[in-house]
Amino acid sequence: MNVQFKKGVLELCVLVLLNKKDHYGYELVQKISENFQISEGSVYPLLRRLTKEGYFTTYLKESIEGPSRKYYQLTEEGRAYLTKLHQEWEEFSKGVNQLIKEGAHNE
Amino acid sequence: MNKIQFLTELSSSLKSLPLDERAEILEDFEEHFAVGAQEGKTEEEIAASLGHPQQISKELLGAQQPQIEEVTVTATTYEPKEVTGTTTIYEPKETQVVSAPPSEKQVTDPPAYHHTKTEATSTSSNLFRSVLVALALGFFNLVIVLGPFITVVSLVFAGWVTGTAFIFTPILILLNALLYPTTFELFELFLSLTLTGLGFFLLIGMYHVTRFVGIGIARYVQFNVNLIRGV
């Protein structure tokens, strides 16, 4: 359950980050793992899957130092999917918080 | 684990993917290593926080549509029991996947149960399969592979012996000359020197042949192991 849960949340996080601006893989991994612990390698399968689904497009961009990087860009479908996921998350977390709050009151 | 080890392991567990796809995935991870190195991290640190390559490849394969169909097909052909076993465990969803080719959404939305499925498969019937494969392989190796194998190894051995012997022929000629001075002929000495030269070439050649044969054997053994493990 825990792993599954994280996977779903990971998807939402990636979408949210890409909604702000385009990122390359490493950047996404860093930004997420700054906030909570993930096994970083699983971000890449996720990126591939969502790209295949047409939620992202990718392009290569040279960087000043080092090799060129693959940037991910949110498509319109991706944006719609984000809205849907975000809404689901809001409802979900509201529900859980509500339950926790009630539990705390009863004690 | 360093970068090379990580990428090699990832690559070998993604063998079922088409080559270009695999290359693309490896590129992504190479980029990750490169950026991490720029930030002053060691390869080992980066590999450790990426997690285990096998786990990653599982997730990658789970996202692959044709892959899943393939898995289902193999499961059905190998062990009909198997399929019923899994269907009872994951009742509602599983039947969809097994009977109809899954649509994009069905497969990719819950990648999780694909994993659980492969895991379930790999426990019970795969053991049975492994044993069968091991038996068959053992028989095949004994009957068909062993003969040529011995031939090849003997040829390699003979090559080395011949090369070494060629190199030492002048010594034998000289030794002969010392023992029976009357039989000494200059022609023989020159001939033996030619043989020495040939011997060196032969040994250099044998070195490469041995390496080549060694790699071949190692690969064949690895192939056997993979077959038994069902990778």
Could you give the CA distance from residue B37 to residue B173 in angstroms, rounded to a whole number?
63
User: Is residue B199 a part of any domain in this protein?
Assistant: yes
| Nearest residue of chain A to residue B113 (CA atoms) | A4
Domain of residue A21 covers 2-106
User: Where are the strands (E) in B5-122, listed by range?
Assistant: none
Distances (CA, A) of B111 to A12, B88, B93: 16, 19, 12
Q: Is this complex's ipTM strictly greater than 0.90?
A: no
pLDDT score of A2? 59
Domain tally, chain A: 1
Task: Give yes or no: residues B72 and B39 share one domain.
Answer: no
Q: Average pLDDT, stretch B196-216? A: 93
Domain of residue B8 covers 3-62
Task: Give yes or no: residues B83 and B69 share one domain.
Answer: yes
Question: Residue B158: beta bridge partners?
Answer: none
CB contact under 8 A, B55 and A42: yes
User: Is residue B120 a part of any domain in this protein?
Assistant: no
Task: Give yes or no: residues B162 and B217 share one domain.
Answer: yes
The token pair at A95 is 């529900």
Task: Give yes or no: residues B58 and B96 share one domain.
Answer: no
Q: How many helices (H) and strands (E) does chain A have?
A: 4, 3
A40 part of contact set with chain B, CB < 8 Å: yes
Q: What is the pLDDT of residues A15-32, one digit of tens each?
A: 999 999 999 999 999 999
User: Is residue B191 a part of any domain in this protein?
Assistant: yes
CB contact under 8 A, A40 and B51: yes
Could you give the CA distance from residue B175 to residue B192 in angstroms, rounded to a whole number?
12
Q: How far is B55 from chain A (nearest CA, A)?
A: 8
Could you give the CA distance from residue A34 to residue A67 in angstroms, rounded to a whole number?
24
CB contact under 8 A, B56 and A24: no
CATH number of the domain at A9, please.
1.10.10.10
CB contact under 8 A, A49 and B111: yes
B87 and B95 Cβ atoms separated by less than 8 Å? yes
Mutate to test the interface with B, among A1, A24, A33, A44 (most CBs of B within 10 A): A44
Q: How far is B206 from chain A (nearest CA, A)?
A: 42
Task: Give yes or no: residues B217 and B149 share one domain.
Answer: yes
Task: Give yes or no: residues B71 and B58 share one domain.
Answer: no
User: Is residue B123 a part of any domain in this protein?
Assistant: no
pLDDT score of A19? 94
Has residue A107 got a pLDDT over 70? Answer: no
User: Is residue B119 a part of any domain in this protein?
Assistant: no
A25 part of contact set with chain B, CB < 8 Å: yes
Task: Give yes or no: residues B97 and B180 share one domain.
Answer: no
Task: Give yes or no: residues B97 and B175 share one domain.
Answer: no
Has residue B211 got a pLDDT over 60? Answer: yes
Has residue B77 got a pLDDT over 90? Answer: no
Domain tally, chain B: 3
